[in-house]
Structure 1
Amino acid sequence: MNEKLKTIKIIHFGICAGVIVAYYVLGNWSSTKIFELPEINQNSILYLLVPIGAYLLSNFLFKSQLKSAELKPKLEDNMAIYQTAAIVRWAILEGAAFIILILKEDFILFGILIVFYLILLHPTKERIIKELNHKAL
């Protein structure tokens, strides 16, 4: 179990580190407008929907993959299922963060929120047990 948990933690760290480095390198940090809410009009409403849609879609796909999988009684046997679902969830959030960073840098605050949420999704044994609805053995 510990090896599989270590693997998924390394994958999560790599995804988070990649997004953080990209935001550090590509973000316009000299501007003070980063933490101001941008003006939202008809042309920019789509970019506001990107983080909302990414959050909803990633959680929906994560939960549906866990439900549709044939869960086994042992937690270790379900790690591959959980790992696949988690990577899909993280990839959608990572993609949304990159879309905001590259296409509409005015909305970088929303991208930072996505990155922060992505960091909060770090895998732990307790979280995996809870999300797979297993009893601690």
Structure 2
Amino acid sequence: MTQQNRPQRTPKNFLKTAKIIHLALAMGCLAISAYFYSNTEMNFTDELNLKDPMIYILPVIGAIAFFASSVLYRNLIDKAKTQPSLLSKLNGFLSANIVRYAIIEGATLINIIWFSTTGTPLYITVAGTLLIYLFWLRPTKDKVIEDLALRGQDKAKFEAFDQDL
């Protein structure tokens, strides 16, 4: 690809790419959830089967995914902050977000799949909560600036939204 044909690497294009990745992962997870929810008969019983170990394991997996994704994200963002160029920092931000989304999505899908086999509402509730959190993580210009702690020249370059990096 020649220099003239290469798409511009601007903050605007970076953020657009980040939003597309987020939306694709979140909507894919939402579509799978909707499919299983609509094709699974709910098992409303007076009591949960407390002898089933999954009743404890799957909500804990959801909680671990929530906390682990935040810790890994923080670690990856801290590494990205030390990069010399803004482009490297932005690539680190994107990688950190993909890791975060994947962890949340994995826990969501595990709960959805288990819901589809048992019909127990607890699992779809955990999955729904994680899915709401995944949508809440949508990347924005302000989140990029805040999470990467952009200051000075890097912040000015990023705020010049249509300028090539």
TM-score range, shorter chain: 0.7 to 0.9
**Alignment-derived partner of residue 45 in structure 1:** 56
Residue 48 of structure 1 aligns to which amino acid in structure 2?
A: P
2:18 corresponds to 1:8:
yes
Per the alignment, residue 36 of structure 2 pairs with 26
Query: 2:93 — aligned with what?
Result: 82
| 2:113 aligned partner, one-letter code | I
1:1-137 matches, cutoff 5 A: 1-28=11-38, 39=48, 41=50, 43=53, 44-69=55-80, 71-72=82-83, 75-105=86-116, 106=120, 107-135=123-151, 136-137=155-156
CA contact (8 A) 2:25 2:101 kept: yes
Identity %: 25
Mapped partners of 2:66, 2:127: distance in 1: 12
CA contact (8 A) 2:73 2:99 kept: yes
Is contact 1:47–1:104 with CA below 8 Å preserved after alignment?
Answer: no
Post-superposition CA distance 1:22-75 (Å, at most 9, x none): 0111114775668xxx83735121111011000011001101111234534654
TM-aligned CA deviation for residue 16 of structure 1: 0.7
5+ residue gaps, structure 2, are 1-10, 157-165
Please give the root-mean-square deviation of Cα atoms over the aligned residues, in Å: 2.5
Amino acid at match of 1:15: L
TM-score for both structures, normalised by structure 2: 0.72
In structure 1, runs of 5+ residues without a counterpart are none
Larger radius of gyration between Structure 1 and Structure 2: 2
